[in-house]
């Protein structure tokens, strides 16, 4: 059976992380995604580790190969007029165009929406700039790490009395990619009903802010800034990560109600804590949270986190160790769901990559091949799709429009 986007073609002008995350979702759902790349300006993601066996190379980045699974790649220099014309020919045969350059860069290249809709009137195009196409900050430079503080996320992250903290990764990038894929799917539904394409102007800053609703509501409803409070949350107690036996071993535990707290006390074999007036109700536990966490850690310090997780989960308590990469890669639950995929890559061989995190009963999705080496699909796109002759292709190569 075909994937839900079988027959949809995507002209992919994206680079780094945010844009490729978007087009990877579309490829997962069966769309044919054609990346347009150039050795003149190699995608930053191709130049980042981890490297298989410690050997770098433009086709060897584990980072790139994760977020470009299932796509095609051609070499095309869109800074040259002939490259622009070829890109337009590809767009004319496509349904969607995706770009995540800085605001207005795609227009300066001659590949903005108004130009591309001339060759594909029902085109759906999305621009994923840092701050959107309008407003006084639309021309600002944008990187994923900057989106975290600009969204307000850093101001909410950290321990009580500490400074704002980065969250450990550039959440603005993959989050923007997921929002963008959703927007593209919505536009495809619209085109199916009306026959009309449209332009999508997406701000990566705003898409990051969209996941912080509780922070905005605290100010909107009460006029206050939510405090930084480590791992604690207002509606659960306990809610934290506790040190365990062994070196750098931890266990997360969360109790949403009194029943779960009583169950935790039972697993810890500490029934007296359930009756302790400091901890009897949620309000009591929140009022004495330092003491609460100290009591729990006195137990977890003697526990293996994996064994404790099994006992707590069996007792109805939400608990899990913060798994390291090796534990995730070897996790039997993920293996049973075929989450990881192993495809033969032309240069680095078979490597394990995170696959598709959903299952569809009627339109199954699949990673049909590993990420492409640069220019892997030149013959298919220039020959089979565009119908260029060998002479035309050699002429374009001689002028370094294609490689």
Catalytic residues: 173
Task: Enter the tokens of residue 306.
Answer: 């994996």
Residues 154 and 148: beta-carbon distance below 8 Å: yes
Residues 239 and 297: beta-carbon distance below 8 Å: no
| Residue 175 zone, left/alpha/beta (φ > 0; ψ -120 to 50; rest) | alpha
Cα→Cα distances 370→66, 329, 344, 355, 367, Å: 8, 18, 6, 11, 7
- Nearest one of 233, 241, 214 to 225, comparing CA atoms: 214
Q: Give the whole-angstrom CA distance, residue 144 versus residue 298.
A: 39
Q: To 10 degrees, the CA torsion angle through 19, 21, 25, 30?
A: 70
Q: What's the helix, strand, coil split of the chain in %, to 5?
A: 40, 15, 45
Q: To 10 degrees, the CA torsion angle through 332, 337, 341, 342?
A: 50
Long-range contacts, stretch 383-389, CB < 8 angstroms, 24+ apart: 385/90, 385/93, 386/86, 386/89, 386/90, 386/93
Q: Give the whole-angstrom CA distance, residue 190 versus residue 344.
A: 37
Burial annotation 126-165 (CB, 10 A radius, 16+ → b, else e):
bbbbbbbbeeeebeeebebbbbbbbbbbbbbbbeeeeeeb
Coil, helix or strand at residue 399: coil
User: What Rg, from alpha-carbon coordinates, does the chain have?
Assistant: 25
């Amino acid at each position: 059976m075909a994937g839900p986007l079988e027959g949809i073609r995507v002209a992919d002008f994206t680079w780094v992380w945010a844009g490729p995350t978007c087009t990877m979702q579309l490829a997962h759902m069966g769309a044919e995604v054609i990346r347009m790349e150039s050795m003149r300006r190699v995608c930053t993601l191709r130049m980042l580790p981890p490297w298989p066996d410690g050997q770098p190379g433009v086709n060897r980045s584990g980072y790139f190969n994760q977020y470009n699974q299932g796509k095609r790649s051609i070499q095309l220099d869109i800074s040259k007029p002939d490259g622009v014309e070829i890109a337009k020919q590809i767009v004319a045969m496509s349904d969607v165009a995706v770009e995540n350059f800085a605001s207005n860069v795609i227009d300066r290249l001659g590949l903005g929406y108004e130009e591309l809709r001339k060759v594909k009137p029902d085109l759906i195009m999305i621009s994923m700039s840092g701050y959107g196409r309008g407003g006084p900050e639309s021309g600002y430079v944008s990187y994923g790490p900057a989106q975290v503080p600009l969204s307000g996320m850093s101001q909410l992250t950290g321990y009580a009395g500490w400074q704002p903290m980065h969250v450990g990764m550039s959440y603005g990038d993959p989050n923007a990619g997921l929002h963008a894929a959703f927007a593209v799917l919505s536009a495809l539904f619209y085109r199916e009903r009306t026959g009309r394409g449209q332009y999508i102007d997406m701000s990566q800053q705003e898409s990051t802010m969209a996941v912080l609703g509780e922070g905005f509501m605290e100010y909107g409803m009460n006029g206050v800034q939510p405090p930084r409070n480590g791992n604690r949350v207002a509606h659960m107690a306990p809610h934290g990560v506790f040190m365990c036996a062994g070196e750098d071993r931890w266990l997360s535990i969360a109790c949403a109600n009194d029943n779960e707290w009583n169950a935790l006390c039972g697993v810890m074999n500490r029934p007296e804590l359930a009756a302790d007036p400091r901890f009897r109700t949620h309000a009591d536990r929140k009022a004495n949270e330092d003491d609460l966490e100290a009591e729990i850690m006195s137990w977890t310090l003697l526990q293996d986190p994996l064994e404790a997780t099994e006992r707590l989960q069996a007792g109805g308590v939400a608990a899990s160790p913060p798994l390291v990469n090796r534990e995730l890669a070897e996790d039997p639950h993920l293996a049973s769901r075929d989450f990881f995929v192993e495809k033969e890559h032309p240069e680095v061989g078979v490597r394990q990559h995170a696959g598709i995190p959903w299952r569809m009963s009627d339109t199954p999705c699949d990673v049909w091949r590993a990420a492409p080496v640069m220019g892997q699909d030149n013959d298919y796109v220039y020959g089979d799709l565009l119908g260029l002759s060998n002479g035309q292709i050699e002429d374009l190569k001689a002028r370094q429009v294609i490689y």
